[in-house]
Amino acid sequence: MTGYERLEMLIDGEWTAGSDAASMAVENPATEATIGDLPLASTQDLDRALAASLQGFNVWKDTPALQRQGILENAARLLEERREQIARTCTLEIGKPLRESLMEIDFTIGVLRWYAEEGKRAYGRVVPARDIRVRNTVLKEPVGPVVGFAAWNFPAVNVIRKVAGALAAGCSIIVKPSEEAPGTAIAIARCFQDAGLPRGVLNVVFGNPADTSAYLLSSSIPRKVTFTGSVPVGIHLQTLAARTLKRCTLELGGHAPFIVLPDADVELAAQTAAAFKLRNAGQVCTSPSRFFVHSSVHDRFVGVFADAFEKAVVGDGLDDAATMGPLAAQRRLEVMDRLVADARDHGASVVTGGKRIGNRGWFFAPTLLDEVPDEAAIMREEPFGPVAPVSRFEDLDEVIERANSVEVGLASYVFTRNGGWAQEATRRLNAGLVGINCAAISLPETPFGGVDHSGYGSEGGIEGLDAFMRTKFVAEIR
């Protein structure tokens, strides 16, 4: 277990193993070895966390924004000092190559710094009154204690988007990171505690996800829930939240179309497609996952894409040579096998990959499928893995219709040199994020979020801060 984080929960400013002996093993997906034993919260622990989050909120909301910023900036500095150790923890528990983990921690620091700064700018406004004696003021206030549930695929970023947004707005938060990647979240929480965050403002708990979320959401203390994860779980949590009328921000799955128009820079498109598909072994909600390529450039695109996939070095993320790590869990391998078999049954060809690599660790070969018909399951179900289905198209109307034919709408990508086509695709694509000739669509300062079954609300940008605030209108006669 060397080099891995000590696994604890943070409740009311104290690190704890919880009030009962329940725990679960954390595994390294590259080796299948147990790397830690994670304590799980009892209902008494959750009650303590709820009470602490209310007390923490009462202290934090009345802490001046500039003072809050100072503490968040201290936490960012500590994260910077500890970045290499935290990145290693991230790779150990989720498998991504160390350089990707380092990029994730750097992005995490960027998100924290951006929110820390922006918290000072949660301005209200003065509305011109109808009577000279009246002053109409709109005030922004923190919404209240928050509960956040974060998925395993970005163990740092999924957590910081919730924690930093809440804290910058003046909210307290109970966060339940994924039980599959707890160490990274704990290491981040240590930075906040060591930075001087008052007790109860940030609480970290673990437990059976269904039981823990049902318990926390049945309490009227949290006034908001923020979740990153799958569509069915998002719908379930919104239903639970409705009973106590909590606000929701839901970052759910996607199934991003990647459209290559006939005039595109095909080399750039194929290299970008491969690089972003390999990232985190395709376990990214914005990962390009349905590749629609114009017939006239199809063969060149597939050739460059396949070549890039074949050059990928799949291995343990701690190995310097690895450019792609394992999948996070065995269940993801089973999904890849099923989707590839189904695509084959529907007449698709496997250009490269198509199966598990080795028999230890959850490694799956980067897989390029060609001539995949829309009826294949992979064209409707997000693979969340390194499997890329390619399909031809003939004209813009047809491809937009096919791109919009799923219920989710998170990311979308268009490669073209034609400004008119780019604008038309941007206007007509049903998605919260559009990348034109690029795939870099997530930044601390820009809103990140989807539409329809991809959820709603934004993390990042001024919209991300606003999501943790409520509005108060004051009419005052002098």
Name the minimum Å distance from CB 280 to ligand NAD. 10
d(CA 75, CA 300): 48
The residues binding ligand NAD (CB under 6 A) are 149, 151-153, 178, 209-210, 213, 228-230, 233, 236-237, 251-253, 285, 331, 382, 384
d(CA 202, CA 173): 5
Going from the C-alpha of 338 to that of each of 49, 98, 376, 385, the distances in angstroms are 41, 29, 11, 12
Considering beta carbons, is residue 393 or 413 the nearer one to ligand NAD? 413
- Beta strand 224-228 with 247-251 is parallel
Closest CA to 314 of 284, 352, 288, 345: 352
Q: What are phi and psi of 455, to 5 degrees?
A: 100, -165
Q: Which residues, in sequence order, are bridge partners of residue 411?
A: 433
Considering beta carbons, is residue 331 or 478 the nearer one to ligand NAD? 331
| Residues 384 and 288 sit within 8 Å (Cβ to Cβ) | no
Name the minimum Å distance from CB 340 to ligand NAD. 15
d(CA 189, CA 34): 23
Name the minimum Å distance from CB 190 to ligand NAD. 21
Closest CA to 450 of 395, 405, 412: 412
Considering beta carbons, is residue 152 or 301 the nearer one to ligand NAD? 152
Considering beta carbons, is residue 71 or 205 the nearer one to ligand NAD? 205
Active site residues: 251, 285
AA letter at 151: A
Name the minimum Å distance from CB 253 to ligand NAD. 3
Considering beta carbons, is residue 256 or 312 the nearer one to ligand NAD? 256
Name the minimum Å distance from CB 149 to ligand NAD. 4
Q: Which residues, in sequence order, are bridge partners of residue 426?
A: none
Considering beta carbons, is residue 71 or 160 the nearer one to ligand NAD? 160
Considering beta carbons, is residue 32 or 407 the nearer one to ligand NAD? 407
Q: Write out 246-299 in H/E/C secondary structure.
A: CEEEEECCCCEEEEECCCCCHHHHHHHHHHHHHHHHHCCCCCEEEEEEEHHHHH
Name the minimum Å distance from CB 188 to ligand NAD. 16
Name the minimum Å distance from CB 227 to ligand NAD. 7
Here the tokens at position 452 are 């329809």
| Residues 24 and 37 sit within 8 Å (Cβ to Cβ) | yes
Q: Which long-range contacts (CB under 8 A, 24 or more apart) does 215-221 make?
A: 215/43, 215/46, 216/46, 216/49, 216/50, 216/147, 216/174, 216/176, 217/147, 217/241, 217/243, 217/244, 217/246, 218/243, 218/244, 219/50, 219/244, 220/244, 221/50, 221/51, 221/53, 221/54, 221/144, 221/145
Considering beta carbons, is residue 152 or 456 the nearer one to ligand NAD? 152
Angle at 221 between CA 218 and CA 227, to 5 degrees: 65
Name the minimum Å distance from CB 20 to ligand NAD. 20
d(CA 45, CA 19): 6
| Residues 327 and 385 sit within 8 Å (Cβ to Cβ) | yes
Residue showing the smallest CB distance to ligand NAD in the complex: 253
